[in-house]
């Protein structure tokens, strides 16, 4: 039962003041905290169930097959003949072609990421310096490239650089470069990788461009005006003012580009006909596909998939750690 106490007022009269309400029991506070702790998981439950069915179970099967002797007989319904342990991984790591493909994948992904960032950053800065109509045209063109399916874009690029009917060779020949008459861009290893790189950059730079453009627009205009009044050039403003302020966004787009470009499959498979002449343009994803489905070595293909998963898991964990650190800084 609450009690009223009196306090002296400025007029000399006594006024009743209500006593503070008693605190809720400790058990009630504990139950409230427990209830609040379960609330986010209840909202996430449907998504977790879907991810469990679409992600966790396939990963489990991938890892299981990589430890078994899994051939066409098992795909047709037969039981796995024996448990191989780490023999499939020993066979994979003992294959010199695997290390060559891994090195080619890393170098190709690094070139794609670097080129995508350069093109995306340059066009993002350009968007801030052109008028509304050119800006809208560039944005629509970029979003069109972003929305084009990978298999469609790859087919278009193969036609553009076709040695017989492609317009690129005809234009180059028209300008006096006779060496490009009937030139096959997919015959040489490096020209093929360069052609695929152009297509990957073409369909990837819009994400970098739009993301960085949004970050640039968030920079206070007073900072850029002050740097310009101090006589800084455009390159100096980007290097000394804009890049440090955009560092969190640059980190995010870089890591996401690494994940996307490391597991490129469609562009390589379509534009090189499954890995190029004598497998000279293989990357890990296409290499795993050839081992599993072309050679019926499903165990080795699964082992390659597990290795790729572990590599990308390390990159993803680094990405999440950076996001968490940026959240603390903000």
Provide the pLDDT for residue 106: 92
Distance CA(244)–CA(136), nearest Å, equals 27
Pairing label, strands 4-8, 14-18? antiparallel
Q: Are 203 and 147 in contact (CB under 8 A)?
A: no
Please say if the pLDDT value at position 236 is more than 80.
Answer: yes
Please say if the pLDDT value at position 1 is more than 50.
Answer: no
- Find the domain containing 225 and state its range: 96-329
Q: Which of 263, 143, 257 lies closest to 206 in space, CA to CA? A: 143
CATH of the domain at 234: 1.10.3720.10
Please say if the pLDDT value at position 36 is more than 80.
Answer: no
Q: Among all chains, which residue has been given the structure tokens 């972003």?
A: 146
Q: Which of 84, 97, 82, 63 lies closest to 295 in space, CA to CA? A: 97
Distance CA(300)–CA(88), nearest Å, equals 6
Q: Is residue 100 part of a domain?
A: yes
Q: Is residue 49 part of a domain?
A: no
Q: Is residue 66 part of a domain?
A: no
Q: Are 152 and 145 in contact (CB under 8 A)?
A: no
What is the sign, positive or negative, of the torsion defined by CA atoms of 205, 212, 253, 146? negative
Higher pLDDT, 15 or 236: 236
Q: pLDDT band at 2, cuts 50/70/90?
A: very low
Compute how many other C-beta atoms are within 10 angstroms of the C-beta atom of residue 237: 17
CA 301 to chain centroid, in Å, comes to 23
* Share of residues in the chain with pLDDT > 70 (%): 85
* Share of residues in the chain with pLDDT > 90 (%): 31
Q: What is the number of structural domains in the chain? A: 1
Q: Where on the phi/psi map is residue 131: left (φ > 0), alpha (ψ -120 to 50), or beta?
A: beta
Residues, the chain: 330
Higher pLDDT, 98 or 68: 98
Provide the pLDDT for residue 293: 85
Please report which helix (H) or strand (E) contains residue 4, including its range: strand 4-8
Q: Mean per-residue pLDDT for 325-329?
A: 59
Longest alpha-carbon distance in the chain: 108
Q: Is residue 8 part of a domain?
A: no
pLDDT in tens, 262-310: 989 999 999 998 888 888 899 999 999 998 888 888 888 899 999 999 9
Alpha-carbon distances, residue 175 vs 13, 134, 165, 220, 282 (angstroms):
103, 28, 17, 46, 34
Q: Structure tokens of 178?
A: 């006779």
Q: Is residue 273 part of a domain?
A: yes
Q: Is residue 295 part of a domain?
A: yes
Compute how many other C-beta atoms are within 10 angstroms of the C-beta atom of residue 297: 22
Please say if the pLDDT value at position 100 is more than 80.
Answer: yes
Q: Structure tokens of 287?
A: 């290499």
Q: Mean per-residue pLDDT for 91-120?
A: 93
Among the ranges given (19-28, 121-130, 161-170, 258-267), the one the predictor scored with the smallest mean pLDDT: 19-28
Q: Is residue 79 part of a domain?
A: no
Q: Is residue 253 part of a domain?
A: yes
Q: Which of 59, 112, 143 lies closest to 267 in space, CA to CA? A: 112
> In the predicted model, what is the mean pLDDT of the chain?
83
Q: Mean per-residue pLDDT for 151-162?
A: 92
Higher pLDDT, 241 or 22: 241
Q: pLDDT band at 111, cuts 50/70/90?
A: very high
21 half-sphere exposure, CB direction, 13 A CA radius: 3
Distance CA(224)–CA(247), nearest Å, equals 16
């Amino acid at each position: 039962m609450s009690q009223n106490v009196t306090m002296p007022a400025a007029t000399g009269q006594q006024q009743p003041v209500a006593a503070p309400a008693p605190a809720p029991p400790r058990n009630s506070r504990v139950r409230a905290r427990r209830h609040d702790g379960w609330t986010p998981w209840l909202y996430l439950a449907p998504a977790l169930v879907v991810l469990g069915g679409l992600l966790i179970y396939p990963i489990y099967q991938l890892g299981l097959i990589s430890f078994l002797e899994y051939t066409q007989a098992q795909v047709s319904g037969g039981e796995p003949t024996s448990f191989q342990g780490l023999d499939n991984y020993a066979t994979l790591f003992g294959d010199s072609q695997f290390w060559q493909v891994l090195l080619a994948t890393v170098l190709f992904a690094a070139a794609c990421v670097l080129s995508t960032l350069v093109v995306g950053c340059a066009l993002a800065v350009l968007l801030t310096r052109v008028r509304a109509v050119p800006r809208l045209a560039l944005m629509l063109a970029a979003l069109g490239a972003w929305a084009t399916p990978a298999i469609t874009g790859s087919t278009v690029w193969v036609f553009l650089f076709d040695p017989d009917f492609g317009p690129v060779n005809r234009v180059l020949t028209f300008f006096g470069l006779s060496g490009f008459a009937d030139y096959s861009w997919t015959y040489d290893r490096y020209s093929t990788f360069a052609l695929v790189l152009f297509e990957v950059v073409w369909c990837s730079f819009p994400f970098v461009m739009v993301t960085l453009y949004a970050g640039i627009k968030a920079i206070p205009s007073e900072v850029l005006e002050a740097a310009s009044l101090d006589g800084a050039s455009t390159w100096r403003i980007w290097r000394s003012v804009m890049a440090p302020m955009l560092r969190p966004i640059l980190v995010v787009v870089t890591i996401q580009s690494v994940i996307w470009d490391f597991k490129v499959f469609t562009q390589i498979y379509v534009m090189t006909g499954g890995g190029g002449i004598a497998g000279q343009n293989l990357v890990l994803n296409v290499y795993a596909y050839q081992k599993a489905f072309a050679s019926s070595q499903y165990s080795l293909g699964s082992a390659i998939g597990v290795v790729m998963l572990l590599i990308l898991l390390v990159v993803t964990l680094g990405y999440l750690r950076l996001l968490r650190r940026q959240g603390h800084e903000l």
